[in-house]
Chain A
Amino acid sequence: MTNDPFTIAGRTFQSRLFLGTSGYPNQQSMLDALSASGAEVATVSIRRISLEGYAESMVDLLGKQWTLLPNTAGCMSAKDAILTAQLAREALETDWVKLELIGDRETLYPDVEQLVGAARQLVDDGFQVLPYCTDDPVVCQRLADAGCAAVMPLGAPIGTGIGVANPYNIELICNRSPVPVILDAGIGTASDATLAMELGCDAVLLNTAVAKALDPVLMAAAMRDAVTAGRAARHAGRIPKKDHAEASSPQMGLIGG
């Protein structure tokens, strides 16, 4: 599909792959992977400036070529997440935020109780909220009801590379969601991204699968193709799964028949 744009919060993108900027072997690898991926949106975190020195700004490094989507990664309270979002808005001059509010540092699993409340507050404060959430259809509905611009259910916990752990839930969420669905977290390889798109996701957000691959640039290109393939397959209308064989070659005119 050559022209299959993706609209979210009033902005339209050609690429349905959002890519993270963390964990690459080096800065050049990150830049090359971003280019190879075709992604138009790159996520960044917001962190205290190291008071020992100030490296090149991510805004200067990436801001001309990519739309930067700040996250509230690491936040465990609504208060911290909201302040981080507000600082991100000031720092990056954007009202988009990937809202990440986790319940424990080991699993990095979303704390949905705080997440929905924080999402509501940020929506009221004028943000376009893209919440990282569980693959729970009810939670996704609550986030959409709260005014989020999209929902971003996990495929599996961050960095696990497990893929889409519960495809049934993801498909359910995609079928019912009034807002775009971006599968975020847990992707391990290209086929995971393809599956997410085949299940009906509007886009995929990943980081570790590319950054920690043996060849991040090649994996970034693979992910670009994987997302495109999955989206096309979804639109093409797959055959149903059957429990019996059905010959594809005609049964007439067989030699020896």
Chain B
Amino acid sequence: MRIRLNGNDHTTTAATVRELLQEQDIDGELRGVAVALNDNVVSRSGWDSTRISDGDTIEIVKPFRGG
């Protein structure tokens, strides 16, 4: 299916947020990762159960240097 991932068009076979992270080689155990699906934060406890649909917009973020 086609989604928007971090501002870019992206094709994925992932069915859930967890699967999408795995597809992107993002270790879900790493601290500081957060995910939003269509402008709603998906908490870590919901990564396995939250499904992704065609046309969804997803943000995967982490803390970075900043003032």
Contact = CB atoms under 8 A, between A and B. Distances in A.
A96 B30 CA distance: 21
A208 to B, nearest CB: 7
A107 B65 CA distance: 20
A63 B33 contact: no
- Which 6 A-B pairs give the minimum distances between C-beta atoms? A45-B66, A20-B67, A207-B67, A91-B34, A59-B32, A90-B34
Contacts of B32: 57-60, 91-92
A57 B30 CA distance: 7
Given A88-B34, A90-B34, A54 B63 contact: no
A244 interface: no
Interface string A162-197: 000000000000000000000001000000000000
A88 B63 contact: yes
A252 interface: no
B61 A92 contact: no
Contact of A86 (B5, B25, B41, B62): B41
B6 interface: yes
A84 B35 CA distance: 10
Given A49-B60, A91-B63, 7 more contacts: A21-B67, A46-B62, A47-B63, A51-B24, A71-B67, A83-B41, A87-B41
A68 B41 contact: no
A54 B21 CA distance: 12
Interface residues of A, number: 40
Contact of A54 (B30, B59, B65): B30
Nearest to B21: A49
Contacts of B43: 90
Nearest to B62: A49
Contact of A83 (B6, B7, B39, B44): B39
B66 A54 contact: no
Residue with the highest number of chain B CB atoms closer than 10 Å, among A57, A73, A79, A185:
A57
Contacts of A20: 65-67
B41 A59 contact: no
A83 B39 CA distance: 7
B66 A43 contact: yes
A238 interface: no
B29 to A, nearest CB: 10
Contacts of B59: 48, 83, 87
Contact of B61 (A46, A158, A206): A46
A230 interface: no
Interface in B7-55: 7, 24-27, 30-36, 39, 41, 43-44
A30 interface: yes
A199 B64 CA distance: 32
A114 interface: no
A87 B31 contact: no
Nearest to A159: B67
